[in-house]
Structure 1
Amino acid sequence: MRKIVSQLFISLDGVVEDPHIWHFPYFDDEMGVAVDAVIGRADTLLLGRRTYDSFAGAWPEREAAGGEDAPFAKVIGDARKIVVSRRPLTFTWRNSEQHQGDLLDAVRALKNEPDGSRIAISGSVSLVRQLLAAGLLDELNLLVHPIAVRKGMRLFDEAETPTPLKLLSSATFATGVLDLVYAPAGEAGEGGYEEAKAHLPHSDR
């Protein structure tokens, strides 16, 4: 079964909206490696329409320009790009297609394809939320920037039930960015102060 991995730039206060406004000062070689490990190594990208429009408006030109970012632009240009949208779309960027039918059914079919390569999601917050809620997202990679943006859409909206996660790996970049990889954790744990107090530090003083 194919694995679906999402990668998001996120601020310390949980904002994921318009990262191009606040995240570039933190983009260094370490973050470049992290992005390549998720997005650059996937042969299929699953994208919301807004993220796709942003990518399609920039990466083909960067590839054609032949600058230092052209190799990465070619990689994502060569990848299969499946775009989630409720309205019909016309594509000019190669290897782009619109998903057909029910979203969750389409994602399940993708995961069950015989090819074992990774499916990556970049940005596309609404899509990430839906797949998390349906139990179809295998990994959530958050690149947490040391800045409080203080306005804009946050990754998790208000809901009646929590979304428990388990930490798979973590790394700290020289810029202060945290590279955190989570997976769904099933049910939230139980417990209260009576259970927690046994773990408080004890002193004979």
Structure 2
Amino acid sequence: MKKIVAGLFVALDGVVEAPDQWHFPYYNDEMGAAVGTTLAGADTMLFGRKTYDSFAGAWPQREAAGGEDADFAKTLGDLRKVVVSSRQLDFAWRNSEQLAGDLVEAVTALKQSPGSGHIGMSGSVSVVRQLLAAGLLDELHLLVHPIAVRKGMRLFDEGEPSIPLALLTSQTFSTGVLNLVYAPSGPAAPVGYEDAKRHLARARQGSAH
């Protein structure tokens, strides 16, 4: 079964909206390599409509222009691109199609489709939320920027059930950006204040020696 790997730019206060307004001062070669890992080995990209429209409005022209990012643009163009939308879409960018039917059922079927590559995601926050809640997202790559944007949509909205995650890897870039990779996890152990006090007591004893 294919893995779904999602990558997001996120501010320190959890904001993920409009990263073009606060993200670029932190972009360097380290981040470029990290962003590339979301695509490396992917044979399919899964998008929400707004993110797809943003990509489709830029990358085909960059491929045609033949600039320094033309190779990356061609890679995106050659990938299968599946778009989640509640309205019927028309596509001009090659290898694009619309996800049909119920999201959870359709993505479950997509994960079972032939091919050895994984399914990559970039942005598409509403889809990421739904896949996390349904247990269909396998890895969440967060590039946490050292800035509090203080306005805009956050990655996790309020009022929904908690989603426990396990940290797989972490890396600190020279810009202060944290590259954190998470995977879904089982619920946390039922630990309370009394357990915490015992850990604190042991820590004090250790520091006394």
Gaps of 5+ in 2: none
- 2:175 maps to 175
Which residue pairs with 2:132 in the alignment? Answer: 132
Asked whether the equivalents of residues 62 and 70 of structure 1 are also in contact (C-alpha less than 8 Å), the reply is yes
What's 1:144 paired with?
144
Deviation at 1:41, TM superposition (A): 3.3
SS at match of 1:17: coil
Question: In percent, how many aligned pairs have the same letter?
Answer: 68
Distance in 1 between the 2:43 and 2:173 partners?
Answer: 26
Distance apart, 1:160 and its partner CA: 4.5
- Residue 40 of structure 1 deviates from its aligned partner by 4.3
Tell me the number of residue pairs that the alignment of Structure 1 and Structure 2 aligns: 205
Structure 1 counterpart of 2:30? 30
Q: What amino acid is aligned across from residue 21 of structure 1 in structure 2?
A: Q
Partner SS for 2:31: helix
CA distance in 1, matches of 2:24, 2:104: 33
User: Which residue does 2:204 correspond to in 1?
Assistant: 202
The 3-state SS of whatever aligns with 1:104 is helix
Q: Counterpart amino acid of 1:115? A: G
Instruction: Tell which deviates more after alignment, 175-184 or 194-203.
Output: 194-203
Tell me how far apart the structure 1 counterparts of residues 145 and 170 of structure 2 sit (CA, whole Å). 14
Rounded Cα–Cα distance in structure 1 between residues aligned with 2:67 and 2:108: 37
Could you list the per-position Cα deviations for residues 79-103 of structure 1 after superposition, in whole angstroms to 9, with x for gaps in the alignment? 1000000000011101100011111
Would the aligned equivalents of 1:162 and 1:188 in 2 still touch at CA under 8 Å? no
Q: Counterpart in 2 of 1:66?
A: 66
Counterpart in the other structure of 2:48: 48
Structure 1 consecutive aligned stretches of length 4 or more whose deviation exceeds 3 Å = none
Give how far 1:5 is off.
0.6
The alpha carbon displacement at 1:64 in A equals 1.0
Q: TM-score, normalised by structure 2?
A: 0.94
Q: AA paired with 1:34? A: A
The answer as to whether partners of 1:46 and 1:121 remain within 8 angstroms in 2 is yes
Partner of 2:89: 89
Which residue is equivalent to 1:116?
116
User: What is the CA-CA distance between 1:59 and the residue it aligns to?
Assistant: 0.6
Question: Does the CA-based 8 Å contact 1:40-1:75 persist in structure 2?
Answer: no
